[in-house]
Structure 1
Amino acid sequence: MQSRPPELSDHDVAAAACAGWKIPAVMASYVSVGYGSHHWVLADVDGNRWFASVDALPGNEAGVGVDVEAGADAGADAAFARLSAALRLAVTARDAGRGFVVAPLRTSDGELVRRLTGGYALALYPFVAGGSGDFHDELSPADGIELTDMLYSLHAVPVPPGAGTRISTESFDLPDRDRLEVALDDAALDDAALDEAGNGEPGSDGEPGSDGPWRGPYGGPLRRLLARHAGDIHRALQRHDELVAASGQQSHRMVLTHGEPHPGNLIRTSSGLALIDWDTALLAPPERDLWLADARTGGQASRRYAVRTGRPLQAELLARYQLAWVLTDIAEFVALLRNAAEETADTSWSWDALCRILDELESSAP
């Protein structure tokens, strides 16, 4: 994330790491890398370094269609439980001998993640020196082979009994789908009301002083954007459901997956590629990882994987995961922008990304 959370100072993160992991006194420096989590590099006087990842839990601001008093604590607890379950899977893979897995360190109490005041969760990782890429980078043929073999090894990790809980197993649901559909319905209703009223009264489109649901700097533009692309989004949601149905029963194909094995989550070290950022780890079909590896290797990853396993991958699931990625991004950006009280580097980036994704969705429509 480009914008640091205003509620958390460098001192807060350093103090929480020292208290939870019993590491020596450290200095914390915020680093603007990645998207979705906030990151700090911690260093002590001897030059030892750690990497801290902080996630915002739902509930520290009002949400669209959410009763904050009734649902905020439950939402934060559920998100914390999902994060903890994902990180436990990463530790399972590391303990099974997968040296490329950069798993979180345990606290002095044996936990993997620690709650912070203000609705945040902190995980601490060993610092890995090396060079990383960007989400959109193509992988070289050699790196593509190495990544595919890493995924083959990861998917072969024996999952201990009891690890396959509901929150750690693929459900094929789209995160925040309900909130996205509420926003689409609101945009359609408000668009119709504005047309009937001759484009509405000043301020009814999210301008200052508006009492409507489209407040903030992105209120009006977001409403108009969703109204214009509502058909594209609804068709994509329907196509997603069709692909899930066509894929059939998958309970017998569940393996330990990373979820986001793109170049931005790979670090080239002196001993090979390391895979970082395990907050999305899940028991799921192998296609959850392979579609993205395919996108960065020109389709070579799934072919090599199928040869190694002796089992072909399902085209419907590869397509489902690719579409689910797009729809999840749309839902996440809409939720962020509809709740944004001010423009920041992160909201500006998210707005540009949302516009680009929706234009691509429109151009790909049959």
Structure 2
Amino acid sequence: MSDSDLVVALKAGWDIEARKIAYLPVGAGGYHWTVDGRWFLTVTADESGPLERALRTARALRRDAGLSFVVAAEPGHGGSPLWSLPSGPNLSVFPLVDGEAGSFGPHPADRDRVVDMLVALHRATPVVAAAAPPSDLRPPGGDFLRAAPTGDRWAAGPYAAAAQDLLATHAAKIEGWLARLADLAAGFGPARVVTHGEPHPGNILRTASGPRLIDWDTVRLAPPERDLWLLTGDPFAPGLDAGDAALARYADATGHRVSPAALAFYQLRWTLADVAAYARDLSRPHGPGGDAEDALGYLRGHLEG
């Protein structure tokens, strides 16, 4: 993929005449550029159907529900927020917003403002429910994780065999996590709201006009706890506290009784999704160092921690 591919796609999809394109080595799960100090581009290989629905939902949240904190993708010709590049991935275009994002992990002292954004987001559900893709409560990557230790020997890169050995060594732990996740999912109540999915500090952009929420490709209709577990004092600590001050603020504003089981479900699902994603990456062709070496370290940390 070259800059010229992006220039052609911007003109064809959005009628944008790009003059200066700069690559940004930031984020995860996609590739990013700025254009002329005005646009922020994202290229991702995610499945286009759910991705387009999620980005259209974010656009509706901003346009129809009036949520000004939503940084939504720009619609192109025909109204679609996506344009397929010749090499296969999808391009989306966002306004370039001047601000500073936080770091992944627990929220700092601004949790109340983030709670208030999520209250507004969840209340907007009736406006966008028909457009939003539904969430999947199945264990992420379960079949892959179960089959990986006994399948053909991984040899696609320098860390492939070590990753497969980790899955084999910790197969019982992984199976226990999968069973626990299924048990927790069986106890969900009927509440479904439009959720962001990853409202951690890395997706909160602090601007002169207040916080903005970015990265809407993960929008799904789901239990509120899909967002709420990331608002606890330490989302990755064992035994999340359903009485946490931020969650109490949410409950007071919405009347929703926060479910400890749902919090535990989404915390565990995050871990399993990470394990499956890192393992898949390392089962495919990769080279030494860089993201692949980091992936092996993160995989080991999840399984041995």
Quick check: 2:33–2:40 contact (8 Å CA) kept in 1?
yes
2:257 equivalent to 1:312:
yes
> Residue 94 of structure 2 corresponds to which residue in structure 1?
125
> Residue 38 of structure 1 corresponds to which residue in structure 2?
31
TM-score, length-normalised on structure 2? 0.91
Query: 2: distance between equivalents of 1:174 and 1:343?
Result: 30
Distance 1:266 1:161, change over 3 A: closer
Q: Which amino acid aligns with 1:50?
A: W
Quick check: 1:159–1:256 contact (8 Å CA) kept in 2?
no
Deviation, structure 1 residue 160: 4.2
Quick check: 1:218–1:340 contact (8 Å CA) kept in 2?
no
Query: 1: distance between equivalents of 2:234 and 2:40?
Result: 26
1:52-93 Cα offsets, whole Å, 9 max, x none, are 011124xxxxxxxxxxxxxxxxxxxxx110100111111121
1:111-139 Cα offsets, whole Å, 9 max, x none, are 11111122201110000101111112532
Residue aligned with 2:127, SS = coil
2:41 equivalent to 1:26:
no
Query: 1: distance between equivalents of 2:233 and 2:7?
Result: 38
Query: 2: distance between equivalents of 1:215 and 1:231?
Result: 25
Q: Which amino acid aligns with 2:253?
A: R
> Residue 52 of structure 1 corresponds to which residue in structure 2?
41
Unaligned runs of 5+ in 2: 236-240
Quick check: 1:101–1:276 contact (8 Å CA) kept in 2?
yes
Pick the aligned partner of 2:200 from 233, 245, 262.
262
Q: Which amino acid aligns with 2:142?
A: R
Residue aligned with 1:138, SS = coil
2:193 equivalent to 1:228:
no
Quick check: 1:139–1:296 contact (8 Å CA) kept in 2?
no
Pick the aligned partner of 2:147 from 179, 182, 186.
182
Q: Which amino acid aligns with 1:357?
A: H
Q: Which amino acid aligns with 1:87?
A: L
| Aligned residues between the structures | 296
TM-score, length-normalised on structure 1? 0.77
Residue aligned with 1:246, SS = coil
2:272 equivalent to 1:352:
no
Q: Which amino acid aligns with 1:324?
A: R
Query: 2: distance between equivalents of 1:234 and 1:145?
Result: 37
Distance 1:116 1:174, change over 3 A: farther
Deviation, structure 1 residue 34: 1.2
Quick check: 1:14–1:42 contact (8 Å CA) kept in 2?
no
> What is the alpha-carbon root mean square deviation over aligned residues?
1.8
Residue aligned with 1:109, SS = helix
Quick check: 2:39–2:96 contact (8 Å CA) kept in 1?
yes
Larger radius of gyration: 1
> Residue 134 of structure 1 corresponds to which residue in structure 2?
103
Deviation, structure 1 residue 156: 0.5
> Residue 119 of structure 2 corresponds to which residue in structure 1?
152
> Residue 184 of structure 2 corresponds to which residue in structure 1?
243
Unaligned runs of 5+ in 1: 1-7, 58-78, 191-211, 361-366
Once the two structures are superposed, the pairs formed by residues 152-231 of structure 1 within 5 Å of their partners are: 152-157=119-124, 158-160=126-128, 162-163=130-131, 168-186=133-151, 212-231=153-172
Q: Which amino acid aligns with 1:291?
A: W
> Residue 238 of structure 2 corresponds to which residue in structure 1?
none
Moved over 3 A (4+): 159-162, 212-215, 295-299
Query: 2: distance between equivalents of 1:217 and 1:161?
Result: 45
Q: Which amino acid aligns with 2:122?
A: H
Query: 2: distance between equivalents of 1:138 and 1:229?
Result: 31
Residue aligned with 1:274, SS = strand
Distance 1:296 1:151, change over 3 A: farther
Distance 1:126 1:56, change over 3 A: same
